[in-house]
């Protein structure tokens, strides 16, 4: 099912799978990166305005971070270099649909495939979906 704004897609039927194949084919030569976290870790980031995947000070370990806006001020991790940014307003809708019928536990593994400004793919207990990244970076 694709949302009406065409921001996210959750694979539910054959039509969705064909659309996903078209999207993947367009990005066939892209070296997607892989990150795996637990639901407990991801849940902490659901409070943020933007979910970001990247590195701190260029180290070789990809992590999740984000930006939280309070009264017009943006707070983020020092030295964090985001590679992709997802608007949480849309992510929460996507997440609700992706996890429909899935029993989430603290240590449920979530797999993410991402690369720069391409759709971020999520897989959880056999369900798969993608969400478009926010192209422009949040303001500092």
φ, ψ (nearest 5 deg) of residue 41: -65, -45
Cα-based distances in Å from 55 to 25, 37, 60, 65, 79: 27, 15, 7, 9, 8
CB 138 within 8 A of CB 82: no
pLDDT score, position 135: 58
Q: What b/e sequence results for 63-76 when a residue is b if at least 16 CB atoms lie within 10 Å of its CB, and e otherwise?
A: ebbbbeeeeeeeeb
Cα-based distances in Å from 14 to 2, 3, 23, 49, 112: 13, 16, 14, 33, 22
Residue 88: strand, helix, or coil: helix
CB 104 within 8 A of CB 122: no
pLDDT score, position 136: 53
Q: What angle do CA 100, 132, 109 make, to 5 degrees?
A: 45
pLDDT score, position 137: 44
The C-alpha atoms of residue 108 and residue 34 are separated, in whole angstroms, by: 16
Structure tokens at 83: 């590679």
pLDDT score, position 106: 94
Contact partners, residue 92, CB within 8 Å, separation at least 6: 46
Would you write out the chain's pLDDT as a tens digit for each of its 140 residues?
A: 888 888 999 999 999 999 888 887 776 666 788 899 999 999 988 888 889 998 888 677 788 887 777 888 888 788 888 889 999 999 999 999 999 999 999 999 999 999 888 899 999 999 999 999 985 544 55
């Amino acid at each position: 099912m694709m949302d009406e704004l065409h921001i996210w897609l959750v694979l539910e039927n054959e039509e969705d799978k064909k659309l996903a194949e078209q999207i993947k084919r367009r990005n066939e030569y892209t070296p997607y990166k892989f990150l795996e976290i637990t639901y407990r870790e991801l849940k902490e980031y659901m409070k943020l305005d933007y979910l970001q995947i990247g590195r701190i000070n260029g180290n070789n370990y990809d992590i999740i971070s984000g930006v939280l806006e309070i009264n017009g001020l943006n707070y983020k991790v020092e030295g964090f270099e985001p590679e992709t940014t997802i608007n949480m307003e849309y992510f929460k809708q996507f997440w609700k649909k992706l996890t429909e019928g899935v029993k989430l536990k603290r240590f449920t593994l979530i797999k993410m495939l991402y690369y720069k400004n391409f759709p971020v793919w999520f897989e959880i207990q056999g369900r798969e979906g993608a969400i478009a990244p926010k192209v422009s970076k949040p303001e500092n």
